[in-house]
Amino acid sequence: MKNMKMKFFVDILKKNVDTFGEHLFTFDKKKIYNLFADYPQNMSKEEVEIFSKENPYWREFFRFGK
């Protein structure tokens, strides 16, 4: 993904009214991440940097779990 300009996308994904606490997001509208299952271990370094910069709340939330 080097030299690839990525954007962070959220709320473009389907909302399942029967599911609570599922936070889905994507950078390329192809690969979908689940916040609690994938952040940060299943993301590239660049994706983690973008997500952490744009979502300081979640960065701090997960920092305490380390």
Per-residue pLDDT of the chain (66 residues; tens, 9 = 90+): 454 566 766 655 556 667 777 888 888 888 999 999 999 999 999 999 999 999 999 999 998 765
Note the pLDDT of residue 1. Answer: 47
- Sequence-ordered list of residues with C-beta below 8 angstroms from that of 39, at least 6 positions apart, any chain: 33, 48, 51, 58, 62
Nearest Cα neighbor of 13 from 2, 28, 4 is 28
Q: Please give the span between the terminal C-alpha atoms of the chain, in angstroms, as a whole number.
A: 27
pTM for the model: 0.71
Residue 10: beta bridge partners? 25
